[in-house]
């Protein structure tokens, strides 16, 4: 704090590159996008009821062309449905709110209507909101205001409220705990990109204000969140640890050095095709709210140089006319999927030097997209350019086709290859 420019960045998330894709209707996938048969495991429920139970949500969305993944949550009594962007880069869940609203994108009848259910400053959930304005001495009976500012400079301002969240647990029980969340009545969306079509954000960060942390405090689930995002589309999300396989997961300790960022780890070394790139000491953030992966300037330059060198003499040419992403290549004829080009690209690896050399493998599928024009583009962007300083963000593109588990009790993050298209039975 105190550093210029670092104000209320309690959240790191959501680089919506929607504007670029806005002309393409979501979900209009061709069958050619189908992944080849893979030997990925499908997920089965482990022993249930180790601690309360779990909740599983189907996930919709994709990295390209939509740019985000979301779940549909029921809130209120009688419940209404809200599409929420899933974001492991922030804590607070909020919905667009009719209070009345500035910057809401949903029609009025789809907004959340507060009903004398405002949370006051005296509530511990309010104290868990770590933004500077909240540290001022306030009348404990006053309403708990919040502001969340995202790394893309978008923001939501509003008031905390409490309402029922009807949830179906894996043990069959349906319970509707009253949870605190943000009623956002002043949203700003940054830059040239059009605002998302979701009604808000589901914060999966490890702070006390998150929905999962509240469920944990009530004794309903473990303080564990996981997601499985399919590279084709959709996937699933879970609260609790029933779905976490007992073996086969790569676990990485997360650090608490950087309070405004969640699920940070490092230092990591960048390898290309199994060989050192000379880039190390990378601080890495896992952020499902970001569509793409961001490297700092040094790692980005090394990656671009090495990829360009590898493509020398291969039938891929620069395609600057494709505006989908900063760097694209075209072939002699349009590509249908990353599978058509993956032989020209080597895997990138982040090797975590502090954790018995735990490695996050980024196969070509984890850093390339094929655009509507049939070109292949680099889904790793220059983070320094968007103001991320030295941080490196692992976004959705690199989290696909893996079960990713954020264990807030043991402060570790884990992953394992998985078939995310099949929703586990509960």
Q: Which stretch binds ligand NAG (CB under 6 A): 185-193, 311-319, 377-385, 403-411?
A: 377-385
> Is residue 160 within 8 Å of residue 144, measured between CB atoms?
yes
Q: Of 145, 163, 287, 407, which residue is the catalytic one?
A: 287
Task: Quote the radius of gyration of the chain (alpha carbons, Å).
Answer: 21
302 contacts ligand NAG (rule: CB under 6 A): no
Q: Which stretch binds ligand NAG (CB under 6 A): 204-212, 253-261, 293-301, 408-416?
A: 293-301
> Is residue 224 within 8 Å of residue 241, measured between CB atoms?
yes
Please indicate whether residue 87 is annotated as part of the active site: yes
> Is residue 271 within 8 Å of residue 356, measured between CB atoms?
no
168 contacts ligand NAG (rule: CB under 6 A): no
162 contacts ligand NAG (rule: CB under 6 A): no
The residues in 4-43 that bind ligand NAG, with binding defined as CB under 6 A, are none
Q: Which stretch binds ligand NAG (CB under 6 A): 145-153, 167-175, 269-277, 309-317?
A: 167-175
**Cα(186)–Cα(138) distance, rounded to whole angstroms?**
22
171 contacts ligand NAG (rule: CB under 6 A): yes
> Is residue 202 within 8 Å of residue 190, measured between CB atoms?
no
In angstroms, what is the minimal distance from the CB of 363 to ligand NAG?
Answer: 23
Please indicate whether residue 287 is annotated as part of the active site: yes
197 contacts ligand NAG (rule: CB under 6 A): no
Q: How many CA atoms lie within 13 A of 14 on its CB side?
A: 31
Strand partners, 390: none
Matching residue, tokens 């075209």: 330
Strand partners, 80: 75
H helices within 290-349, ranges in order?
Answer: 297-311
145-167 in b/e form (b: 16+ CB < 10 A) is bbbbbbbbebbbbbbbbbbbbeb
> Is residue 350 within 8 Å of residue 344, measured between CB atoms?
no
Dihedral, CA atoms, 321, 322, 326, 330, nearest 10 degrees?
-100
127 contacts ligand NAG (rule: CB under 6 A): no
In angstroms, what is the minimal distance from the CB of 45 to ligand NAG?
Answer: 13
52 contacts ligand NAG (rule: CB under 6 A): yes
Among 16, 70, 286, 300, binds ligand NAG (CB under 6 A): 300
In angstroms, what is the minimal distance from the CB of 327 to ligand NAG?
Answer: 10
Among 179, 220, 252, 338, binds ligand NAG (CB under 6 A): 220
The smaller minimum CB distance to ligand NAG, of residues 169 and 352, is found at: 169
Q: How many CA atoms lie within 13 A of 79 on its CB side?
A: 14
The smaller minimum CB distance to ligand NAG, of residues 110 and 168, is found at: 168
Residues that bind ligand NAG (CB under 6 A): 52-53, 169, 171, 173, 175, 220, 297, 300-301, 304, 382, 384-385
Residues designated catalytic: 87, 287
């Amino acid at each position: 704090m105190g550093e210029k420019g670092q104000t209320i960045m309690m959240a790191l998330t959501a680089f919506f590159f929607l504007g670029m894709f806005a002309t393409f209707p979501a979900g209009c996938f061709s069958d050619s996008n189908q992944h080849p048969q893979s030997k990925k495991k499908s997920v089965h429920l482990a022993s249930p009821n180790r601690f309360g139970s779990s909740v599983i949500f189907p996930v919709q969305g994709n990295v390209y062309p939509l740019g985000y993944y979301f779940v549909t949550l029921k809130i209120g009594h009688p419940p209404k449905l809200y599409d929420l962007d899933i974001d492991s880069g922030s804590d607070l869940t909020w919905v667009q709110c009719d209070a009345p609203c500035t910057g809401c994108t949903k029609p009025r009848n789809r907004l959340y209507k507060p009903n004398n259910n405002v949370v006051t400053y005296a509530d511990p959930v309010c104290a868990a909101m770590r933004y500077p304005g909240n540290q001022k001495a306030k009348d404990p009976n006053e309403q708990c205001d919040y502001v969340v500012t995202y790394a893309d400079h978008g923001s939501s301002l509003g008031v905390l409220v409490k309402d029922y969240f009807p949830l179906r647990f894996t043990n069959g029980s349906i319970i509707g705990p009253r949870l605190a969340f943000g009623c956002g009545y002043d949203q700003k969306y940054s830059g040239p990109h059009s605002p998302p079509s979701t009604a808000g954000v589901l914060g999966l960060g490890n702070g006390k204000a998150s929905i999962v942390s509240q469920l944990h405090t009530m004794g309903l689930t473990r303080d564990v969140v996981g997601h499985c995002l399919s590279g084709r589309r959709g996937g699933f999300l879970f609260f609790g640890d029933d779905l976490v396989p007992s073996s086969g997961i790569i676990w990485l300790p997360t650090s608490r050095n950087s309070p405004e960022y969640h699920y940070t780890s490092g230092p990591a070394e960048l390898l290309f095709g199994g060989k050192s790139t000379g880039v190390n000491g990378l601080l890495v953030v896992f952020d499902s709210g970001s569509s793409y992966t961001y490297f700092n300037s040094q790692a980005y330059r090394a990656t671009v140089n090495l990829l360009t060198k590898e493509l020398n003499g291969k039938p891929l040419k620069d395609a600057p006319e494709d505006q989908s992403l900063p760097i694209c290549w075209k072939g002699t004829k349009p590509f249908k999927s990353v599978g058509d080009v993956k032989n020209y690209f080597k895997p990138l690896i982040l090797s975590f030097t502090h954790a018995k050399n735990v490695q996050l493998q980024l196969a070509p599928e984890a850093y390339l997209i094929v655009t509507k024009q049939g070109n292949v583009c680099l889904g790793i962007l220059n983070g320094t350019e968007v103001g991320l300083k030295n941080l490196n963000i692992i976004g959705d593109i690199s989290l696909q086709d893996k079960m990713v588990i954020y264990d807030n009790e043991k402060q570790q993050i884990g992953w394992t290859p998985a078939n995310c298209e099949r929703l586990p039975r509960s």
